[in-house]
Amino acid sequence: MSPEEFRKQGKQMIDWIADYYENVEKYPVLSQVKPGEIIGQLPTNAPKESESMDQIMSDVNSIIMPGITHWQSPNFFAYFPSNSSGPSVLGDLLSSGLGVQGMIWATSPACTELETRVLDWLAGMLQLPGQFKSTSTGGAVIQDTASSAALSAILAAREKKTNYKTNDSGNSGKLVAYVSSQTHSSLEKAIKIAGIGKNNLRLIGVDENLAMRPDLLEIVIQADLKAGLSPFFVCATVGTTSTNAMDPLTEIGRICRKYELWLHIDAAMSGTAAISPKYRHFLNGVELADSFSFNPHKWMFTNFDCNCFYVADRSVLIKTLSILPEYLKNQASESGAVIDYRDWHIQLGRRFRSLKLWFVIRHYGVSGLRYHISEHVRIAQEFAEWVISSDDFELVAPAPLNLVCFAHKNGNDFNRKLLETINANGKMYFTHTEVNGQYVLRMCIGQTNTKEEHVRLAWETIQETAKELSS
């Protein structure tokens, strides 16, 4: 495709996306297709000859669009937001257009240095302690997901505890890690991947707010030490996926210091809230952590993928993940004056992801980000008030920020039916979780364009549907 043709087709694609944003509320939020309905419309074999962009876009409209669940609809309240924004999409487009590889500094110095600076900006915006900045002992890297960040943290912790010998000799079978029963499933997956085994992952019990109990954590660590095992890693969560529970970071951090365990903090969605001074207190205790990660691709208007992974001591991470074959050697790396981000994550190749983050932060400004985040929290808190004031519904867990967990008083089967009925209608989309055997409805409010009117309409829909199902 020539530059001239790209110019023409690119502008048509921009128009298509702008039209989509204007009309996104007209689509059913949850795709209503049946399994196999999309694939059944696609030819079995690749086309032998070239097809036109018009043909392709015609299929996008007729075949692909019915199979889209609209994460960018303001009526999307499911799982977690994976929000986005114009400047983010444009930053990502620029990244695609430049098509550079940032695996080492030399393969595009701007890709490394912009990333370092923007992540230092974010450290300041979240008031992270000084050691997490690149100008101190630590630093940060953009990873694809919080899953990969957690795996990287576990690997660094594993090597630190075993004096970098597991990388050489393999896992010894003595290492033990700790999470709460509410911690994201990616931690269990990472423990398996790292060769440690889920039998060596302890699920610590939680309190009435579903937050990890530090007293139980310490008891279990002591028991493991007594059994000759080697406790090495704790993951504390700021805002669990299920109910947005807040683990007590300071108390957990003190235990980690006492027993020399690596503390990783997973703040995937809720970390963004700390940009606003009103919500910064949820990160109190982060100064005791060895690593911290959150996802601007969840709630900070930055399209997937963009996880920010901070470490207090970069030398441990680099020593854990560094490999230097001859064909990657170069003067800049050998001088030690540059960062090679390849040594900060699992993959070797990497795209220029900091562009979209830079675009977002500059477009909104810190004050703009604070405003939008605070608005989401305000609306969610209002929704929680409506639930509390209602005769038929109840709040099931504390709602510290933008996630409200609630249930109709008619029991599990009724709530399941209520959820499925509403989602099948297409006007909104929300999902569920389970809390102590109870089927719980989740309203997660964080899509870029979600306003009070959308949440009000959602609440009306929920109430009306519940009434219809009750009668």
For a copy of itself, the binding residues in 76-105 under the rule CB under 8 A are: 78-79, 82-90, 92-94, 96-101, 105
The residue among 288 and 355 lying less far from a copy of itself, judged by its C-beta, is 355
| 21 lies in the site for a copy of itself, by CB under 8 A | yes
Say how many residues touch a copy of itself, by CB under 8 A. Answer: 158
383 makes contact with a copy of itself (CB under 8 A):
no
Shortest Cβ 431–a copy of itself spacing (Å): 7
Q: Select the residue interacting with a copy of itself from 260, 394, 434, 464 (CB under 8 A).
A: 434
Among 26, 226, 327, 389, binds a copy of itself (CB under 8 A): 327
What whole-number distance in Å separates Cα of residue 448 and Cα of residue 281? 24
Instruction: List the one residue out of 79, 82, 98 whose CA is nearest residue 303.
Output: 82
CB-wise, 360 or 377, nearer to a copy of itself? 360
Confirm if 248 and 263 have CB atoms less than 8 A apart: no
CA 151 to chain centre: 14
Which of 180, 270, 293, 433 forms a contact with a copy of itself (CB under 8 A)? 433
Q: How far is the CB of 419 from a copy of itself (least distance, A)?
A: 10
Separation in Å, CA 295 to CA 77, 251, 278, 309, 383: 17, 24, 19, 9, 24
Does 66 bind a copy of itself (CB under 8 A)? Our answer is yes
Binding a copy of itself by CB under 8 A: which of 242, 244, 276, 293?
A: 242
d(CA 237, CA 432): 20
Residue 441 identity (one-letter amino acid): L
**Residue 217: partners with Cβ closer than 8 Å, 6 or more residues away:** 178, 204, 234, 252, 255
CB of 254 to a copy of itself, least distance (A): 28
Q: Is 321 in the site for a copy of itself (CB under 8 A)?
A: yes
Nearer to a copy of itself, 26 or 48 (CB): 48
Q: Which stretch binds a copy of itself (CB under 8 A): 62-70, 217-225, 251-259, 278-286?
A: 62-70
Of 52-60, 203-211, 376-384, 390-398, the segment contacting a copy of itself by CB under 8 A is 52-60
Of 365, 378, 453, 464, the residue at the interface with a copy of itself (CB under 8 A) is: 365
Give the Cα separation of 115 and 276 in Å (integer).
Answer: 22
Residues 275-314 that bind a copy of itself (CB under 8 A): 297, 303-305
Which 198-217 positions form the footprint of a copy of itself (CB under 8 A)? 198-200
Q: Which stretch in 205-213, 277-285, 362-370, 382-390 sits in contact with a copy of itself by CB under 8 A?
A: 362-370
Assess 389 for contact with a copy of itself (CB under 8 A).
Answer: no
Asked if 15 is part of the footprint of a copy of itself (rule: CB under 8 A), the reply reads yes
Cβ atoms of 288 and 264 within 8 Å: the answer is: no
Q: Does 70 help bind a copy of itself (rule: CB under 8 A)? A: yes
Binding a copy of itself (rule: CB under 8 A), the pick from 29, 196, 373, 397 is 196
Q: Which is nearer to a copy of itself, 255 or 433 (CB)?
A: 433
Is residue 59 reached through a cis peptide bond, with omega within 30 degrees of 0 on the bond before it? no
Would you say the C-alpha torsion 6, 12, 14, 17 has a positive or negative sign? negative
381 to 239, 242, 431: CA distances (angstroms): 15, 17, 18
What is the footprint of a copy of itself within residues 340-359 (CB under 8 A)? 346-349, 351, 355, 358-359
- Residue 391 Cβ, how far from a copy of itself at the closest point, in Å? 27
Quote the CA–CA distance of 411 and 170 in Å, as a whole number: 49
Q: Could you give the dihedral angle defined by the CA atoms of residues 292, 295, 300 and 301, in that order, rounded to the nearest 10 degrees?
A: 160
**Cα separation of 320 and 345, whole Å?**
10
SS3 assignment, position 244: coil
Of 234, 231, 53, 83, nearest in space to 153 by CA:
234
